[in-house]
Amino acid sequence: MTNRIPLIAGNWKMNMDHLQAIALIQKLSWTLSDADHDYSKVEVAVFPPFTDLRSAQTLIDAEKFELALGAQDISKHDSGAFTGEISGAFLSKLNTKYVLVGHSERRQYHSEDDSVIQQKVAAAWRHNLIPIICVGETLEELESEGQSAVPIRQTIAALSGHDSLGEFVIAYEPVWAIGTGKVATPEQASEVAAAIRKALSESFGEVASQTRILYGGSVKANNVAGFLLHEDVDGVLVGGASLDAEEFSGIARYQKHIVL
């Protein structure tokens, strides 16, 4: 057993308006506060759209819900003439703890490359946010380079060139498994997680053993077990299934059983 507290992260993507977000947080908190389960050994975080963060934060604080808050993106800048961008300063004012950086949809549809992602990681640390650095290979890359090469390269690129490292999480999400229903096998996921950890250790030393590495890509309550049983997989990043309170709680609940 490691001291890495498992993280179950729900990436809502561009779903849920203000009222739907409130309803989902309330429902989730209700299902997670089930007295038969002890969630103290697992951390559950939600990543709503920016426009929902304020209401989510108010609700979580007022009701003392055991949920951590994350944002789906961050600007590499701190303030100024960057229309449409969201500063890490604004996020930390809302008690946001985590921020997704380099999600494959940002890499693909917003042309975010390794350099932008590296700068976003730095921005997250400047504002005391924990970046969840998303890495993963496309189907083409899987066929040409194998499974671990791209995730390792992206991980090292995001973490290189900083004066020192702050806390971070890695989410291994094979692009071909996101939202497709095609899920990596638990063995594939744990092999890549182990390879990332080894690369982290070679490049950055001790931090590797304390870093949480998540798997993401079509995770559901009925397939999460296989991933979480592996020592190198410290949680999951969930897209579609995080929009359903029962389903998402089912994922968190499973984690609790194997941790205790």
Residues in contact with ligand PGA by CB under 6 A are 11, 173, 178-179, 216-219, 237-241
Toward ligand PGA, which CB reaches closer, 87 or 215?
215
Closest CB 181 distance from ligand PGA, rounded Å: 8
Catalytic (active site) residue 173? yes
140 is catalytic: no
Catalytic residue among 43, 105, 137, 173: 173
Smallest distance, Å, CB 35 to ligand PGA? 29
> 201 or 226: whose CB is closer to ligand PGA?
226
Q: If phi over 0 gives left and psi between -120 and 50 gives alpha, with beta otherwise, what is residue 205?
A: left
Whose Cβ is closer to ligand PGA: residue 24's or residue 87's? 24
Closest approach, Cβ 237 to ligand PGA, in A, equals 5
Q: Exactly one of 103, 105, 112, 137 is catalytic; which is it? A: 103
Which residue of this chain has its Cβ atom nearest to ligand PGA in the complex?
Answer: 239
Active-site residue list: 103, 173
